[in-house]
Chains A and B, each alone.
Chain A
């Protein structure tokens, strides 16, 4: 049986202590904001403004027309024009450019005579992902230019109306401009809550052991369940406020849409809060010191949420074993739900599995947390 008198007294005391503790205030307010900015801007999979050096061996009208296409593209920044190979090699060595484009001296001559022209492109392959993306962009630029040359040639031949037979009319749903920030930011919200939620409660019990107040507390008739609920209740409120703050930042600052139902957002957030707060509480009870508890909680939440939740790497691209492991990472489900709620807003039925996953974790960890605390000294 829960005694409301004790539960409320416990929650009120916890709230006062959070309010008076500068560190807690910092975690509650500053940490979500800083993390939102750090991850929102810091993690980007967009390849834009790739630095390019060009070495135009011909310097003709034609070669310049071709190179201007790179200039015009948002994906490339033609940083510098060099006049020798060694200079280009040095630039790639030093990392001042990721792509070097070399136009041969017989560029326009070959074009005129209808021969095939090879333009050399050198990529810095140390980051294979950027290299392959850069490669396909470069190919696209060359393709477009050849197409234009072809059309001009045909028009010159009197073929006034030339149409290309096939074109892809691409429309990207849910993320119309294909900006990675839009997919990342909802994930960041999940990351922030995983880390902040666990971190907050990881201090709460350990603090009482460290300061010696626990001995007095457990000499009163308060039950372990009342201690846990009383301690977690303020953090549920704080957690909801923090998540809402993150969501508002996502929409108003980062321009992420919010297409789903607010109640799906609130329900999943509540479930996820039960998961992370219980986890932090669990660590706090077991570790008994604030330092150990907070470190364990950071490692146990941050890394899985970062690597195995689908935040950084798509889960369906992972090896089967790792994919299996991701099912044990609660942030995975919340991440999927948040992406849906922000970007898709598709019917709840389509995400019921993720909601069920969260609910299972919330139940198991919540129950575990009620069991772990014993009103005994050791």
Chain B
């Protein structure tokens, strides 16, 4: 895994739509066998980046090399080396399962000698054995998704781009899907995946957090959790959670406060010092604390603290994350999928 030359190299990539900067100077590298997670709120520029890497959008400036080929100059050769699954399901609903597979095998010029084996593999992988003759439109979402993945990798591409592959899919199908991703990575495939499910982000080898077109943090999930939070994280359980949140945002020594489920997460300078202070602060305002302790941050905490979700709505300023106001956490955050 390490030592191999990177399969994707991105330097100062920029995409503007008119005045709007969708992708702002992104640089990154991905290696064979790596599951590379793209994390960020909606509209952060994840899909735009992936589309540029697939040669579907022309970069405004910067360079993207995929499989050693410049995306802007040799998009067709790049496409022979990648598999792509767009955000929206985009196989042909009016084609049968087998017809979709044959069509995409044709598009990727899968050799006749390999055709049967590859299609058989894809059907098996998607769990669609015996359902080859069904119209694709009649399949449940989870199966469709696996079929779409099968179609995208019929030609054994060394790099796969998956744009929110599991949105709208039930948890069991999601888990199955991630197993497939892992198997591909083990075989040395570079897998680029965007998601806003935090539990899925934990499965990635490397994460890039992007917000408003910029990379705000990157590293392994563990690195992100340890490095990206300035200070310690406290879990507070109390009555009147809403009122407590409001008050704590003004409390001295508290840099950030947010609601997580029925509890609060606070970012503080030092846990030891803050625990008695917070207890006292809330007690003085008639709020009883039932539990307060230092916890390890989840990716969701990192995500919230680093992205615009944590900022004033409509705040166009460039001040980074710790401005105080809290917002509900992103979707899917309730299940911690370890």
Question: A interface vs B, CB < 8 Å?
Answer: 3, 5-6, 8-10, 12-13, 16-17, 20-21, 211-223, 375-377
Interface residue from A9, A20, A377 paired with B103 (Cβ < 8 Å): A9
Taking residues whose C-beta sits less than 8 angstroms from the other chain, chain B's interface range is 35 or more
Given the known interface contacts A9-B106, A213-B92, A377-B51, the answer about A221 and B80 at a Cβ–Cβ threshold of 8 Å is: yes
Q: Is the CB of A13 within 8 A of B88?
A: no
8 cross-chain CB contacts under 8 A: A5-B109, A9-B106, A12-B102, A216-B90, A217-B90, A219-B82, A375-B56, A377-B56
Q: Is the CB of A211 within 8 A of B93?
A: yes
Contact with A along B56-92 (1 / 0, CB 8 A): 1110000000000000000111011010111011111
B107 to chain A: which residues have CB within 8 Å? 6, 9-10, 217, 220-222
B93 to chain A: which residues have CB within 8 Å? 211
Residue of B nearest to A19 (CB): B94
Q: Is the CB of B106 within 8 A of A219?
A: no
Q: How far is the CA of A5 from the CA of B58 in the complex (A)?
A: 27
Question: B interface vs A, CB < 8 Å?
Answer: 51, 54-58, 75-77, 79-80, 82, 84-86, 88-95, 99, 102-109, 148, 151-152
Q: State the main secondary structure of chain A at its contact with B.
A: helix
Q: How far is the CA of A313 from the CA of B8 in the complex (A)?
A: 65
Q: How far is the CA of A185 from the CA of B54 in the complex (A)?
A: 52
B57 to chain A: which residues have CB within 8 Å? 376-377
Q: State the main secondary structure of chain B at its contact with A.
A: mixed
Interface residue from B58, B99, B106 paired with A10 (Cβ < 8 Å): B106
How many residue pairs bridge A and B at CB < 8 Å?
87
Given the known interface contacts A9-B105, A9-B107, A212-B89, the answer about A218 and B56 at a Cβ–Cβ threshold of 8 Å is: yes
Q: How far is the CA of A348 from the CA of B61 in the complex (A)?
A: 58
Q: Is the CB of A212 within 8 A of B95?
A: no
A17 to chain B: which residues have CB within 8 Å? 92, 94-95
A8 to chain B: which residues have CB within 8 Å? 106
Residue of B nearest to A218 (CB): B56
Interface residue from B77, B86, B105 paired with A215 (Cβ < 8 Å): B86
A223 to chain B: which residues have CB within 8 Å? 76
Nearest CB of chain B from residue A206's CB, rounded to whole Å: 15
Q: How far is the CA of A216 from the CA of B148 in the complex (A)?
A: 9
B58 to chain A: which residues have CB within 8 Å? 376
B82 to chain A: which residues have CB within 8 Å? 219
Q: Is the CB of A21 within 8 A of B94?
A: yes
Q: Is the CB of A221 within 8 A of B109?
A: yes
Q: Is the CB of A216 within 8 A of B84?
A: yes
Interface residue from B55, B76, B99 paired with A13 (Cβ < 8 Å): B99
Q: A12-B106, A220-B79, A375-B75 are in contact. List 15 more A-B contacts (CB 8 A).
A: A3-B109, A6-B106, A9-B102, A10-B103, A10-B106, A13-B92, A13-B95, A13-B103, A16-B99, A212-B88, A213-B90, A214-B90, A216-B152, A219-B84, A221-B76
A375 to chain B: which residues have CB within 8 Å? 55-56, 75
Nearest 10 interchain pairs by C-beta: A9-B106, A219-B84, A216-B90, A220-B107, A221-B79, A215-B86, A212-B88, A221-B80, A5-B109, A13-B103
Q: Is the CB of B56 within 8 A of A5?
A: no
